[in-house]
Amino acid sequence: MRKPYVVTISSEKGGVGKTTLAINLAVYLKALNEDLPLTLFSFDNHFSVERLFRIGKKGGNGDVGGLFTGRRPEDLLELGEYGVQFIPSSRRLEELAEVREAGPDRVARSLAASDLEGIVIIDTRPTLDILTRNALCAADLVLIPVKDTPSLENCRNLYDFCQSQGIPKKALRLLPCLIDSRIRYKGPFTDAYQLLKAYAINRGYRCMEGFIAKSPKVESLNTNPEGRVYPILTHGRGTNVHRQFAHLARQIMLAAKGCETYRVDYIRQQQNRQREKEQFLRQRLENLLPDCLVCDRSLEEPPREQQGLFYGETADGRVCGYLEENCFTDLVFRYFYRTQKEVGGGNPLRELFRESSERSYFALRLNRGETDTAKLELCFHRFDEQGLEVSRKNIELKTFENRFLGREKTPLFRLVEKAGLLENVSADEFLLIRRMQGATAEEAFPETQYAAFRRIMGQVATRLPKDPSPSPSLADLSDAAAVHQP
Ligand SMILES: Nc1ncnc2c1ncn2[C@@H]1O[C@H](COP(=O)(O)OP(=O)(O)OP(=O)(O)O)[C@@H](O)[C@H]1O
Ligand SMILES: [Mg+2]
């Protein structure tokens, strides 16, 4: 077992036996396999871990707070009695800004990055605070001691939180604890254990096999004039709780051995994926052209009133940038609908387009099969949100507005030029355009939208008609552009 298998002991109810379970399980598990590294730590501040395991007056390596401040878990370890290694508890965890500001996966990430092996047991406080959330988030197995119906009802929050973190329901196991065997009931459930188990199953919770009985022996091992904590394994042999703990430890050992995917591995993968995503996004933002792809107006300037943005990116991802809403709408009306420029703001057609464009993708692609190189032809496609083509139009791509008037390049030519479509000789190259949500470049680039954009990009690429004729060479294209000059 190279990765640590993490067992978190948690219940929002206090005094149900969490700490007693944690410290004794550590001893029993170690006894089952001496060679298995066993690490224990507690977010509780009762220092039972130290009272049982500490040899002499050690300390000073740090404590569980270090898991939040970037210390390596292996550097915080203290080797204790019975071969159990532990990270010392802390009295001041909530004073640490790193704890208050931590996400729920801080400890899991710390364990994932560590060299810890074997089994890790985490004892928690009776609240679902950020420390408990961290302990749960790292867990392969969550042991929930329940001693009565209120503690059973309390489980709901733990289940909900674990579900939100993608921890499967079967990883959570209830364990009836502090069961007073003297109490008997009439009816189908004769004792508290049977009753709690039935309640649990009725609510869809899974239980560990067996239970831990309430025993005066255990109490005396935890509270005694010496102020120490003694393990049940060494000081309670022959008792029922000894047999119950041994049975529980065997179940956990089997579960740990049978574990195929460790939670810390999953967290590590998630972390890598997140890092890649962030890096990708950062790179995209760096690549983003600073001006509107049509009018060259800087996107750093405050957005024009009631103006949205369209986003355009080439299939090869080399060129990406924004188009101001007016610029793109003008293009569409002028070249696609062949309507004159006078179709200004407030026009119902324009409003209609504004509304329908939210559900559309637009693709611009040079018709590479054009044999007459004196003419450049552009195909303008419109797709729906599923990437299915709705309409298309072939447009002659002119370089200049008017042969006789000025030398201003047409907006469509400027767009095609800026997108690099003229230089890119690949027949598969196209520019995909989509209305974005925000009014500024940063707002308009949320991760989820971009993922959808790239997905549609892939679909559009397969649906654009494949042109069998060879692509014109770069020289042909620049000739074509030259011919278009007045
Ligand atoms: N099996 C048992 N039989 C008798 N007493 C027990 C048993 N297990 C725990 N106790 C006692 O119950 C009390 C609470 O136990 P413990 O501290 O383990 O609970 P906890 O859930 O960790 O409490 P907290 O929520 O305050 O951290 C202690 O006094 C302990 O000695
Ligand atoms: Mg406790």
| Rounded CA separation 326/64 (Å) | 57
Over 70: is that where the pLDDT of 8 sits? Answer: yes
- Tokens linked to 345: 């703001």
Ligand 1 atom closest to Cα of 21?
Answer: 18
Of all protein residues, the one whose alpha carbon is nearest to atom 14 of ligand 1 is 15
In a 13 Å sphere around the CA of 221, the CA atoms on its Cβ side amount to 23
Say what the pLDDT of residue 444 is: 64
DSSP state, 304? P
Over 60: is that where the pLDDT of 105 sits? Answer: yes
Residue 213 sits at φ, ψ, to 5 deg, of -80, 155
Looking at mean pLDDT, say which of 236-245, 280-289, 423-432, 470-479 comes out highest.
236-245
208 C-alpha to ligand 1 centroid (Å): 19
| Rounded CA separation 159/144 (Å) | 10
Over 90: is that where the pLDDT of 208 sits? Answer: yes
In a 13 Å sphere around the CA of 134, the CA atoms on its Cβ side amount to 28
- Tokens linked to 266: 């999953």
How far, in Å, are 42, 186, 230, 233, 412 from residue 357 at the CA level?
56, 70, 72, 71, 18
The answer to whether residues 59 and 88 touch, using CB atoms and an 8 Å cutoff, is yes
Say what the pLDDT of residue 190 is: 79
Ligand 1 atom closest to Cα of 48?
Answer: 17
H-run or E-run covering 378: strand 376-384
Average pLDDT value for residue range 219-224: 90
219 C-alpha to ligand 1 centroid (Å): 8
Q: Which residue has the higher pLDDT, 52 or 226?
A: 52
Question: How many other C-beta atoms are found inside a 10 Å radius of the C-beta of residue 439?
Answer: 16
For residue 320, the Cα-to-chain-centroid distance in whole angstroms is: 26
What ligand is nearest to the CA atom of residue 16? 1
Ligand 1 atom closest to Cα of 46?
Answer: 27
- Tokens linked to 406: 């000025």
Sign of the torsion angle spanned by Cα atoms 238, 240, 246, 250: positive
44 C-alpha to ligand 2 centroid (Å): 6
Q: Which residue has the higher pLDDT, 404 or 218?
A: 218
Which among 16, 19, 20 is the best mutation to test ligand 1's pocket, defined by most ligand atoms within 8 Å of the CB? 20
Which among 12, 41, 147, 219 is the best mutation to test ligand 1's pocket, defined by most ligand atoms within 8 Å of the CB? 219
What ligand is nearest to the CA atom of residue 218? 1
Sign of the torsion angle spanned by Cα atoms 219, 224, 230, 233: negative
Neighbours of ion ligand 2 (CB under 5 A): 18-19, 44
- Comparing 147-151, 269-273, 290-294, 345-349, which segment has the lowest mean pLDDT? 345-349
| Rounded CA separation 191/181 (Å) | 7
What ligand is nearest to the CA atom of residue 24? 1
Residues 414-437 pLDDT 10s: 999 999 888 866 678 899 999 987
Ligand 1 atom closest to Cα of 126?
Answer: 25
Which residues fall within 8 angstroms of residue 93, CB to CB, at 6 or more apart?
43, 45, 64, 65, 99, 131
| Rounded CA separation 474/472 (Å) | 7
Say what the pLDDT of residue 246 is: 97
The answer to whether residues 324 and 309 touch, using CB atoms and an 8 Å cutoff, is yes
Say what the pLDDT of residue 406 is: 65
Over 50: is that where the pLDDT of 5 sits? Answer: yes
Average pLDDT value for residue range 344-357: 80
**How many Å is the maximal CA-CA distance in the chain?**
107
Mean model confidence pLDDT for the chain: 86
Over 70: is that where the pLDDT of 374 sits? Answer: no
| Chain position carrying tokens 């049977």 | 194
Comma-separated ranges of CATH 3.40.50.300 domains in the chain: 5-271
Ligand 1 atom closest to Cα of 221?
Answer: 31
Residues 159-181 pLDDT 10s: 999 999 999 999 999 999 998 88
pLDDT over 70 for what percent of the chain?
88
Q: Which residue has the higher pLDDT, 399 or 456?
A: 456
Please state which CATH number belongs to domain 5-271: 3.40.50.300
Average pLDDT value for residue range 210-238: 92
Residues 39-95 pLDDT 10s: 999 999 889 999 999 998 877 789 999 999 999 999 999 999 999 999 999 998 989
Say what the pLDDT of residue 478 is: 35
- Comparing 99-113, 194-208, 455-469, 471-485, which segment has the lowest mean pLDDT? 471-485
15 C-alpha to ligand 1 centroid (Å): 5
Ligand 1 atom closest to Cα of 241?
Answer: 1
Ligand 1 atom closest to Cα of 212?
Answer: 1
- Laid out side by side, the sheet with 360-366 consists of 320-324, 309-314, 431-435, 360-366, 376-384, 389-397
DSSP state, 335? I
Say what the pLDDT of residue 49 is: 95
| Rounded CA separation 93/46 (Å) | 13
Say what the pLDDT of residue 66 is: 96
How far, in Å, are 80, 89, 127, 172, 361 from residue 49 at the CA level?
9, 8, 19, 23, 61
H-run or E-run covering 199: helix 192-202
Average pLDDT value for residue range 205-212: 95
19 C-alpha to ligand 1 centroid (Å): 7
| Rounded CA separation 453/362 (Å) | 11
Average pLDDT value for residue range 94-107: 94
- Tokens linked to 66: 């270090």
Residues 9-35 pLDDT 10s: 999 999 999 999 999 999 999 999 999
222 C-alpha to ligand 1 centroid (Å): 8
Please state whether beta strands 206-207 and 360-366 pair in parallel, antiparallel, or not at all (unpaired).
Answer: unpaired
87 C-alpha to ligand 2 centroid (Å): 15
Sign of the torsion angle spanned by Cα atoms 65, 159, 187, 248: negative
The answer to whether residues 392 and 379 touch, using CB atoms and an 8 Å cutoff, is yes
| Rounded CA separation 409/38 (Å) | 73
Average pLDDT value for residue range 207-227: 92
Over 90: is that where the pLDDT of 255 sits? Answer: yes
The amino acid occupying position 390 is V
92 C-alpha to ligand 1 centroid (Å): 22
143 C-alpha to ligand 2 centroid (Å): 13
Over 80: is that where the pLDDT of 477 sits? Answer: no
Say what the pLDDT of residue 373 is: 53
Over 60: is that where the pLDDT of 236 sits? Answer: yes
Pocket of ligand 1 (CB under 6 A): 14-20, 44, 126, 178, 212, 214-215, 218-219, 222-223, 241
Say what the pLDDT of residue 329 is: 92
Of all protein residues, the one whose alpha carbon is nearest to atom 1 of ligand 1 is 214
The answer to whether residues 431 and 312 touch, using CB atoms and an 8 Å cutoff, is yes
pLDDT confidence bin for 449, thresholds 50/70/90: confident
| Burial environment of residue 129 by CB neighbours within 10 A (0 to 12, 13 to 18, 19 or more) | middle
